[in-house]
Structures are given as C-alpha cells and as structure tokens.
C-alpha cells in the first residue's frame, strides 16, 4: 500500500496588517485569516498526480487540490473540506506545497482529516467524488482518490506548523498494455470501451474519518470508455481507475479508430479488486469488424406536422433503405456485414419519402461517399413543404423577361402553362409575367367610365397538392412574399379544383383577402413583404390560387388601371391544428 506523507506549514495572510518573525507573536485573533501551506515530499509530475509506468510511484503536479477537515474536541468542524491548491514545487527538497486561506483557529486540540483531490461536494465528514465513466487513459489526480488517516494536533497558527498526514488510495487501477504485434485491427486506437461484470464507475461517497472504510458507489455503471489524447499503438499502455469491486464474469472490450471498429472480444475474470492495487492486463486489439454502416437522421421539417416514417428510394422509386419508423433518438442505421462495395450508393441521387398522418412528401438528395467498414453519417434530411417555389428556375424564352397578356384591355385572356418558363408541371397563370431567376407578377385590370366598372382578373395557380394523402382533407398555411404596384390593390388567396391553364374567371373557394399598400418602385428584383393565408378544406385534388383584386369604385371619366402584384417564395404546409 503506497502512502503520501504531508507536512503542514502556515504563514501570515496578506489580510493581516503586520507579522513578527517571533513565533510567539504570530497568533492571530479569531476574526483574522491565515494562509496555510501543506508541504508534500514527493516529486512533481508533468501534469496532474500520476502513477509512473516504470516505478509505480505517485507524484504531484501543479493544479492538484486537497481537502482538509479540522474537528475540535467538542465535535465542531472548524475546517470542513477546506480546499488547498498546490502553488510551488521545490526540486532541491523534492517537496510540493499546497496553500489555502482559512479563518484563524481557536487554541486547542483538533482531529485532522484530509482527502485528495477536491471533492465535488462535502457534507459534514462525507466527501462526494465522481469516478468518471469516460477516462483519458492517464492515472491522474482527477481519478486517484485518497483519504488520510486522522491525526490529532494543535490548532494551526500563523506560522510554521507540521501535520504528519498519510494518505491511502481508495480506488483500484488497471494498467492495460497492447502487446507488441498485438493490434490486429491495423489502425491506431483512438477510443476504447471496456464493460465489466460489476459497476466500476459512478458517484463515490467517502467517509473521511476512516481510510479503511469501503466507500459507497451510487449510480454505478459497468462500462468505462477511454478517449485518448494521443492514439495508442501496439506496445503502448493506458490506465483505468475503477471502484474496488468484486469481479466475477466476462470483461468485454472493443477498440475504435477514426470511425473504424474492431470486433468485440471478451475474457472471464474472478477477482476482488483491492483499493490501492494495480492489475496489469495484456489486451490484444481484435481484428477489424467488417461492418459498414450508413446513418440517417431528420433535420428541419417544413411539412407542418410530425412525420411517422420515411423511406429512401432510388431515382426511379425502387426501395433502397427503410422504411424507418420515427424514434426519439433520431438515428436510423443500415449495416452491411462482410466485404462491401460502394458504387451503387456513393454519389447516387436518391429520394427520401416522408409519411405523416395526412401527407407523403419527397425530397431528393445526393448520397455521400460510403466508406467501407466505418459508419458514414448522411447530412440530416430535410422534410419539405407540401409545395415550395422560389422561382429561381424561372426562365424567359426570349430575353430576361416574359409577359403573357399582362396588360391586355377589356378582356379576360386565357391562362398559360408556366412549364414553358421553367416551373414544375402544373403551374399556370393568366395575365402573368416574370423575370429569369427572380420573381413573377400577376395583373388584374380595372376599367371604368360613366360610373360603370369592369374587372379583368389575372391569376397564379400552383400545381395540385399531391402530397396530401388520398381521402384526407386538411387546412394549409400559404406563406409568400408579395408587394403591390398599384393603389387599392388586394390579394385573394384560396383553392381551386380546375386543372390545366385556367383564366381569372375560375371560381376560387375557401378564400381570404389580404389588403396591400402600394410600394413605389417595386420591381422583379425587390425584396417583397412576407404574407400568409390559411386555406381550409384542401385535398390532393386542390390547387392554390393567388389573384390580384382591387377596391376601386366606378368613375365618370373613362379610365383603365393595372393592379400588379409581384410574388416570390411560395411555401405551403399543413396548418398545425
């Protein structure tokens, strides 16, 4: 059993007005503070408290912390887990010094107790620590938990004091060595997991009054995961710090290397792990696990309601992966065992088909390069809108702009298919125009004279909302950017069932009117105002119609007015009820 010896020194705190070199004059009143130094005659380490791989000796390093208790004869804890931090190392005398500022102690005899490192919590004479389930493979002060045997001594005065504290290690260390020629995976080990037959990590409750008492482990875990700062090669060693449990059963372990995974290996052990002892293990890294995994997840969703499942198909609709049922973890994997060839997946254009209560929508994406024998994570899949159009694909057949009877007077012209201008099948418009890659506009004409009036309506119609399931009727939310180029202009938004290129006299149902203020100087390249409308009673046979209108009255003089509305970024989703 290795112990650590402690010599305690005390000097005046900077809060004391003056100090004498005479020890008899250095007793501080109760209201003052003293700075206490603890001297530990051990060699310093490069980092935190470590166990030397060759000698097994324990050493201290800068930043280490110790907790100290001082209990008076009447049972009062004058010091209760006070933290001392290492501040100096004297190589000549092989001593490390720890300091803390404490309240001056009344004269008398005290029982001193100490623990290392600093606990995460202190309650009376019980210190709480965490044995981490994720370790770095170094045996350092964050996991090397120790308690000193209690000693009796006088109060600590503002001067030199000595306490002969001897620490005992409470945990068990495992030194794991990869044998020379023992890395069958063929890749340096960056991560390593071990699962023991008993709980070995968790929350540790330590009674600092008795170093021989077995600490209590709560919220225990059987698995230790090593995340190495530097990859481990054949011949390298690393450390595990574990609870001194009784192990009777299988220890299973797996190695990882930048996405590669070894096969799992196990061995049987029957052993009482003793506190302060080290168990050496020679563990050969198993051969590479020839499992290729593709991992999917769901990112943003624009549908308006939760999806229940999704399937990945090729461009022709033939199933590739799935269906996957939606889960709380949001992780959906496909694995292939054995030799794997990727040409049929890497870089392939595929479709994700998402199903919800009321809809089935699809999104095309490109598969990443699938690397054999690792997990390839596909970028999170986006659940699309029922319909979305930003007019970036709009293209005039001649020049940059086009116009289909936008300003024809005294008649309501027929609608035209907008497929010829680069939009998807099903888009149509009447009295419509646009500019390549920017936006589209629709005009409704108003004619008046002798107080009579006539309106010649234009209209923009989307494709059918084929994403809505057969037999389902939903309320949809229509979001779009739009601005008017004429006074008294309104926008009427509703649904129609008419197919083909319809004109502005087509009956629109379930509509709502949006009042608009004319924007001076608006053009196809302007940034338009965000608008929205809620349209009930929509099925997969319906289209959304957007129609300029006006609130003008008849005038005596013969006049003709154009009421243009510019549209962009039309988004249709299911209204969340």
Two tokens at 189? Answer: 């080990």
pLDDT score recorded for residue 5: 41
Chunk the chain into consecutive blocks of 10 residues (it has 577) and report each block's average pLDDT, rounded to whole numbers.
41 26 30 59 36 51 85 94 78 61 91 93 96 89 82 82 82 95 94 97 96 94 96 96 96 92 94 94 94 94 96 92 95 88 80 97 94 90 97 90 85 91 95 95 86 84 97 97 93 96 92 93 95 97 95 80 94 88
In this prediction, residue 4 carries a pLDDT of: 40
pLDDT at 7: 43
Q: Can you give the pLDDT at residue 8?
A: 45
CA distances from 285 to 253, 262, 306, 343, 386 (A): 9, 7, 44, 31, 51
Report the topology of domain 173-282.
Immunoglobulin-like (2.60.40)
User: Before 117, cis peptide (omega within 30)?
Assistant: yes
Q: Tell me, which fold does domain 5-124+140-169 have in CATH?
A: Immunoglobulin-like (2.60.40)
What's the pLDDT at 131?
A: 95
Q: Considering only CA atoms, which of 284, 255, 283 is closest in space to residue 188?
A: 255
Instruction: Give the closest residue to 387 by CA, choosing from 369, 363, 367.
Output: 363
Using alpha carbons, select from 250, 260, 243, 104 the residue that is nearest to residue 183: 260
Q: Could you read off the pLDDT of 148-206 as tens digits, one per residue?
A: 999 999 988 876 677 778 889 999 999 999 999 999 999 999 999 999 999 999 999 99
The class of domain 389-574 in CATH terms is mainly beta
**pLDDT value at position 46?**
30
Report the top-level CATH class of 291-384. mainly beta
**Identical fold between 5-124+140-169 and 291-384:** yes
d(CA 455, CA 81): 87
DSSP string of 407-469, one letter each residue: T--SS-PPPEESGGGTPPTT-EEESEEEETTTEEEEEEEEEEETTEEEEE--EEEPPP-TTBP
Taking a C-beta distance cutoff of 8 angstroms, is the pair 454, 447 a contact? Answer: yes
SS3 76: coil
Domain residue limits, the chain: 5-124+140-169, 173-282, 291-384, 389-574
The pLDDT score that the predictor gives to residue 528 is: 96
Count of Cβ atoms closer than 10 Å to residue 249 Cβ: 13
């Amino acid at each position: 059993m290795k112990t650590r010896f402690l010599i305690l020194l005390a000097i005046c705190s900077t809060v004391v007005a003056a100090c004498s070199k005479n020890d008899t004059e250095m007793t501080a009143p109760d209201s003052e503070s003293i700075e206490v130094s603890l001297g530990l005659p051990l060699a310093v380490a490069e980092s935190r408290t470590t166990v030397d791989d060759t000698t097994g000796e324990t050493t201290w390093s800068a930043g280490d912390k110790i907790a100290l208790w001082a209990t008076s004869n009447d049972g009062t804890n004058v010091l209760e887990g006070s933290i001392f931090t290492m501040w100096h190392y004297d190589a000549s005398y092989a001593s490390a010094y720890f300091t803390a500022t404490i309240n001056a102690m009344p004269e008398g005899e005290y029982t001193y107790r100490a623990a290392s490192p600093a606990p995460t919590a202190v309650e009376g004479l019980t210190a709480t620590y965490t044995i981490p389930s994720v370790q770095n493979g170094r045996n350092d002060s964050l996991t090397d938990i120790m308690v000193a045997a209690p000693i009796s001594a006088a109060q600590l005065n503002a001067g030199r004091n000595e306490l002969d504290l001897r620490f005992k290690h409470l945990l068990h260390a495992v030194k794991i060595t990869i044998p020379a020629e023992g890395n069958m995976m063929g890749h340096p080990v960056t991560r390593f997991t071990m699962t023991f037959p008993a709980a070995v990590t968790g929350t540790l409750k330590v009674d600092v009054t008795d170093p021989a008492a077995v600490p209590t482990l709560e919220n225990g875990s059987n698995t230790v995961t090593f995340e190495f700062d530097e990859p481990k090669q054949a011949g390298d060693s690393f450390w595990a710090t574990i609870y001194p449990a009784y192990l009777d059963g299988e220890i299973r372990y797996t190695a990882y290397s930048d996405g590669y995974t070894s096969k799992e290996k196990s061995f049987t052990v029957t052993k009482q792990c003793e506190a302060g002892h080290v168990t050496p293990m020679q563990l050969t890294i198993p051969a590479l696990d020839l499992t290729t995994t593709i991992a999917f997840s769901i990112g943003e969703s624009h549908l308006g309601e939760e999806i229940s499942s999704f399937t990945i198909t090729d461009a022709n609709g033939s199933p590739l992966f799935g269906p996957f049922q939606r889960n709380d973890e949001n992780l959906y994997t496909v694995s292939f065992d054995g030799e794997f060839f990727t040409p049929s997946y890497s870089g392939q254009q595929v479709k994700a088909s998402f199903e919800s209560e009321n809809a089935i929508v699809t999104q095309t994406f490109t598969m990443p390069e699938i690397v054999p024998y690792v997990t390839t994570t596909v970028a999170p899949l986006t659940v699309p809108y029922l319909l979305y159009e930003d007019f970036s694909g709009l293209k005039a057949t001649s020049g940059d702009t086009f116009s289909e009877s936008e300003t024809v007077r005294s008649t309501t012209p027929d609608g035209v298919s907008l497929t010829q201008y680069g939009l998807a099948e099903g888009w149509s418009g009447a009295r419509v125009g646009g500019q390549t890659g920017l936006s589209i506009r629709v005009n409704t004409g108003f004619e008046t004279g002798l107080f009579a009036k006539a309106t010649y309506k234009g209209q923009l119609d989307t494709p059918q909302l084929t994403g809505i399931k057969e037999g389902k009727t939903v309320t949809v939310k229509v979001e779009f950017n739009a601005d008017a180029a004429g006074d008294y202009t309104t926008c009427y938004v509703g649904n129609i069932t008419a197919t083909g290129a319809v004109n502005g006299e087509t009956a629109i149902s379930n509509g709502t009117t949006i009042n608009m203020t004319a924007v001076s100087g608006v053009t196809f390249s302007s940034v338009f105002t965000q608008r929205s409308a809620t349209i009930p009673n929509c099925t997969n046979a319906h289209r959304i119609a957007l129609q300029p209108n006006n609130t003008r009255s008849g005038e005596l003089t013969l006049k003709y007015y154009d009421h243009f509305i510019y549209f962009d970024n039309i988004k249709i989703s299911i209204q969340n009820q």
